[in-house]
């Protein structure tokens, strides 16, 4: 699982490393934009009951981590996720233990309870787009669910549908999973509960977001299991785990503008960037104004949803 070593184990030389050491913690692994640590206990060993989830300011698009980072993105997403955990607390318990974290990661890290995680990506969709649209176009089903004819990119469902996927190893893409495969993997009781909670989280999220002019097209959540009950883990209803759309621009029939990454994608695909998506080459660095406008979109999402000002 280790994507980035902190230092070369033989030479001790530092290598390009987005997850530097944090005093009192051991680095476990890093995803594209987040880093996972374990606190070191009084016995000097990594604790097995807790994790520190750190959100970086890194941003990804078209499967690349871009440069430069988006200032405050990690803090905005962490604070938004914490706010959603509170909003959803009557629906589902969560893994958060404390926001008292080292100064180096203040505001963008959470100490959480380490759980046995379900080996399934729990996805719910309220609108048809992305991978769901591709499945529908092929045979009129999404995740084994027969949908009405005539739906288009951006069509809204009467109620969110559960479209689970496999947890692919890093660098690979998650594959759609049938509900029967989820039942086989975790048992029919947990599968039914995961489906119920995932769709309830998206439905409640959309009730709240609609009042603030944001649609949440789909979302991916992760659950752990404690005493046979599901506990919501990871991040929840952030722009990195979900598709946010501006409600006033929703127009089924074409790709909807992404709330957070529209400037990034638009610039990368424009002639100004000089980048050819099909080349396989890494994209060029984002211009300062694209970085600043993207930062403003993350802050706007946070402020509209929570109704509070984001304090740097
Ligand atoms: C866990 N991830 C994804 C998150 C990364 C990777 N409460 C938990 N217990 C056990 N495992 C996890 C969690 C949570 N949340 C989450 N992988 C394992 C992840 C952040 C950074 F690099």
Beta-carbon neighbour count of residue 128 at 10 Å? 23
250 lines ligand 1 (CB under 6 A): no
pLDDT computed for residue 86 by the predictor: 98
The CATH code belonging to domain 4-115 is 3.30.200.20
Pocket test for ligand 1, best of 26, 30, 36 (most atoms within 8 A of CB): 36
111 lines ligand 1 (CB under 6 A): no
Alpha helices, H only, 34-187: 73-87, 130-139, 179-186
Selection from 251, 294, 234 nearest residue 81 by Cα: 234
Rg (CA), the chain: 20
pLDDT computed for residue 170 by the predictor: 83
pLDDT computed for residue 183 by the predictor: 98
pLDDT computed for residue 17 by the predictor: 58
pLDDT computed for residue 21 by the predictor: 84
The Å distance, Cα 52 to ligand 1 centre, comes to 9
Which pLDDT tens digits describe the chain residue by residue (312 residues)? 333 444 433 333 334 556 668 999 999 999 999 999 999 999 999 999 999 999 999 999 999 999 999 999 999 999 999 999 999 999 999 999 999 999 999 999 999 999 999 999 999 999 999 999 999 999 999 999 999 999 999 999 999 999 999 998 888 999 999 999 999 999 999 999 999 999 999 999 999 999 999 999 999 999 999 999 999 999 999 999 999 999 999 999 999 999 999 999 999 999 999 999 999 999 999 999 999 999 999 999 999 999 999 988
d(C-alpha 141, C-alpha 217), whole Å:
18
* Residue spans per domain, the chain: 4-115, 117-283
Torsion over CA: 249, 252, 254, 255 (sign): positive
Fold of 117-283: D-amino Acid Aminotransferase; Chain A, domain 1 (3.30.470)
**Coil, strand, or helix at residue 225?**
strand
Pocket test for ligand 1, best of 53, 119, 240 (most atoms within 8 A of CB): 53
pLDDT computed for residue 169 by the predictor: 87
Q: What is the DSSP string of 26-52?
A: EEEEE-SSEEEEEEB-TTSSB-SSEEE
**pTM, full prediction:** 0.94
Residue recorded with tokens 């752990």:
224
Count Cα atoms within 13 angstroms, Cβ side, for 211: 8
225 lines ligand 1 (CB under 6 A): no
Q: Which atom of ligand 1 is nearest to the CA of 36?
A: 21
d(C-alpha 68, C-alpha 295), whole Å:
12
Q: Judge if 4-115 and 117-283 fold alike in CATH terms.
A: no
118 lines ligand 1 (CB under 6 A): no
d(C-alpha 147, C-alpha 139), whole Å:
10
Which long-range contacts (C-beta less than 8 Å, at least 24 apart) are formed by 73-76? 73/295, 73/298, 74/33, 74/107, 74/108, 75/107, 75/108, 75/310, 75/312, 76/298, 76/299, 76/301, 76/302, 76/310
28 lines ligand 1 (CB under 6 A): no
pLDDT computed for residue 70 by the predictor: 98
């Amino acid at each position: 699982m280790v994507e980035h070593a902190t230092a070369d184990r033989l030479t001790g030389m530092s290598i390009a490393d987005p997850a530097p050491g944090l005093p009192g913690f051991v680095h476990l692994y890093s995803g594209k934009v987040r880093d996972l640590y374990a606190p070191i206990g009084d016995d000097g060993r990594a604790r097995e009951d807790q994790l520190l989830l750190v959100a970086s300011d890194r941003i990804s698009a078209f499967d690349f981590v871009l440069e430069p980072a988006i200032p405050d993105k990690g803090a905005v997403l962490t604070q938004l996720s914490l706010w959603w955990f509170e909003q959803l607390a009557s629906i589902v318990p969560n893994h958060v233990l404390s926001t008292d974290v080292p100064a180096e990661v203040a505001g963008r890290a959470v100490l959480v309870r380490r759980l046995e995680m379900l080996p399934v990506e729990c996805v719910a969709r309220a609108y048809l787009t992305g991978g769901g649209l591709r499945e529908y176009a092929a045979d009129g089903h999404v995740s084994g669910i027969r949908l009405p004819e005539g739906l288009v990119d951006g069509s809204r469902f009467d109620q969110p549908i559960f479209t689970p996927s496999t947890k692919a190893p890093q660098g690979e893409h998650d594959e759609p999973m049938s509900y029967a495969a989820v039942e086989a993997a975790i048992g029919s009781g947990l599968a039914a509960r995961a489906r119920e909670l995932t769709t309830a989280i998206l439905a409640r999220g959309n009730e709240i977001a609609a009042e603030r002019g944001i649609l949440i097209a789909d979302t991916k959540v992760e659950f752990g299991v404690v005493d046979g009950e599901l506990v919501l883990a990871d991040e929840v209803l952030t722009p990195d785990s979900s598709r946010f759309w501006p409600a006033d621009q929703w127009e089924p029939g074409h790709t909807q503008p992404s709330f957070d990454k529209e400037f990034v994608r638009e610039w990368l695909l424009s002639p100004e960037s000089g980048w050819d998506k099909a080349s396989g080459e890494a994209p060029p660095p984002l211009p300062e104004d694209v970085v600043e406008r993207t930062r403003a979109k993350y802050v706007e999402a946070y402020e509209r949803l929570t109704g509070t000002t984001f304090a740097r």
